Amino acid sequence: MMDRIPALEAVHLTKAYDAVRAVDDLSFDVKEGEIFGLLGPNGAGKSTTVKIAITLLCPSAGRAMIFGVDVVEHADRVRQMIGYVPQERAIDRFLTGREHLQLLGALYHLSREEAERRIRELLKLLDLEHKADIPAKNYSGGMKRKLDLACGLIPNPKVLFMDEPTLGLDVQSRLRIWDYVRRLRERGITVVMTTNYLDEADQLCDRLAIIDGGRLKALGSPLELKAGLGGDSISVTVGPPEPSRIEALAEALRAVPVIRSVSPRPDGVDLRVDAPEKAVPAVLETATRLSCRVEFIEYHRPRLDDVFVAYTGHVFRDEFPKSESNE
């Protein structure tokens, strides 16, 4: 099968400032029509990557292309294809929501009728109709964020870049925005978003790039990344803990086909397994056969946290969405 042109292609992308390499040799593709996430902690280089892709920053090395068009050489053509929702709320407090959209409509060279039509549609979609004609300084934080989103969508972009779209939103608004982003995907829009939130990356993104310190640490769908860790994990605790029994149990379990790896603990064993529905009965049966009493058996699917720890070597501090004051 022929490969389609990627919606975004980063090739050895690098952005160096005096002291830091904000982005360091990053290469990845975003496929047309997918929701692609850049996941990483503060200062990982997510925003920098996005700003290069949308022509606001020049890379110090490497290149980025939107549908094959180089973002440095043909910045103008790139700008016609993209929408941008910045990380900081870029709102003019004195303008009303509608005036923001009218301004951007004109900057994307829409005709008046076309602009009016899209503005009506977007205000409705984002549930901003009733506040459309008051100045944005009277908007709540969430409403400002929605207005930001609407501004990014005015051009009806082929690729929408969103920098931490749900930062500081309440749970309901986050869910609504996720829902909305999925609907954009249905309309064929490619979405590239950055996020600080593991659950957001997990549930919303089709594919992810985990970056840390400007470098790519892992790339794939959330499922692939989790599977890449070596399966689901089962942890067995036996009692009373006797080293010889545990050793024997570990030995016997190593022979079970669906169990990938076994690591003994002082009071039991940790397992990585492919098919938990087969592994769990096998574990219990083996334990009974060796007359080990199983006190406790715990099963969990790998979470993105585990992926993150495995690839970056440090724990992800998932910041809980902070409640946000209005100004």
Q: How many angstroms separate the CA atoms of 144 and 188, rounded?
A: 25
| Stretch touching ligand ATP by CB under 6 A, among 15-23, 143-151, 223-231, 250-258 | 15-23
Dihedral (C-alpha) 114, 79, 89, 315: value to the nearest 10 degrees? 130
Q: How many angstroms separate the CA atoms of 111 and 101, rounded?
A: 13
| Stretch touching Mg ion by CB under 5 A, among 25-33, 46-54, 250-258, 315-323 | 46-54
Q: Is 40 in the site for ligand ATP (CB under 6 A)?
A: yes
Q: Is 158 helix (H, G, I), strand (E, B) or coil?
A: coil
Closest CB 196 distance from Mg ion, rounded Å: 8
Beta bridge partners of 190: 159
The arrangement of strands across the sheet holding 69-70 comes to: 21-30, 8-16, 61-66, 69-70
Among another protein, ligand ATP, Mg ion, none, what does residue 33 contact (CB within 5–8 Å per kind)?
none
Per the CB < 8 A criterion, the answer to whether 34 and 185 are in contact is: yes
Q: Is 55 in the site for Mg ion (CB under 5 A)?
A: no
Per the CB < 8 A criterion, the answer to whether 71 and 78 are in contact is: yes
Q: Which is nearer to ligand ATP, 20 or 297 (CB)?
A: 20
The enclosing H or E element of 105 equals: helix 97-107
x/- map, 77-116, another protein, by CB under 8 A: --xx-x-x-xxxxxxx-xx---x--xxx-xxxx-------
Per the CB < 8 A criterion, the answer to whether 211 and 274 are in contact is: no
Q: Is 151 in the site for another protein (CB under 8 A)?
A: yes
Q: Which is nearer to ligand ATP, 23 or 160 (CB)?
A: 23
Please report how many Cα atoms fall inside a 13 Å half-sphere around the Cα of residue 326, on the Cβ side. 7
Closest CB 22 distance from ligand ATP, rounded Å: 3
Q: How many angstroms separate the CA atoms of 6 and 190, rounded?
A: 10
Closest CB 225 distance from ligand ATP, rounded Å: 19
x/- map, 214-253, another protein, by CB under 8 A: ----------------------------------------
Q: Is 165 in the site for another protein (CB under 8 A)?
A: no
Among ligand ATP, Mg ion, another protein, none, what does residue 92 contact (CB within 5–8 Å per kind)?
another protein
Which of 46, 131, 146, 174 contacts ligand ATP by CB under 6 A? 46
| Residues in binding contact with Mg ion, number by CB under 5 A | 3
Dihedral (C-alpha) 317, 44, 7, 162: value to the nearest 10 degrees? 60
Which of 14, 29, 44, 47 contacts Mg ion by CB under 5 A? 47
Which residue stretches of the chain are H helix?
46-53, 75-81, 97-107, 112-125, 141-153, 171-186, 198-204, 222-227, 243-254, 276-289, 304-312
Which of 17, 117, 127, 295 contacts ligand ATP by CB under 6 A? 17
| Stretch touching another protein by CB under 8 A, among 56-64, 195-203, 250-258, 318-326 | 56-64
Which of 55, 173, 196, 312 contacts ligand ATP by CB under 6 A? 196
- Nearest residue to 51 (alpha-carbon basis) of 76, 86, 27, 90: 86
Amino acid (1-letter code) at residue 252: A
Question: Which pair of tokens denotes residue 305?
Answer: 């946290």
Amino acid (1-letter code) at residue 122: L
> Which positions lie near ligand ATP, rule CB under 6 A?
17, 20, 22, 40, 42-48, 87, 196
> Which positions lie near Mg ion, rule CB under 5 A?
46-47, 87
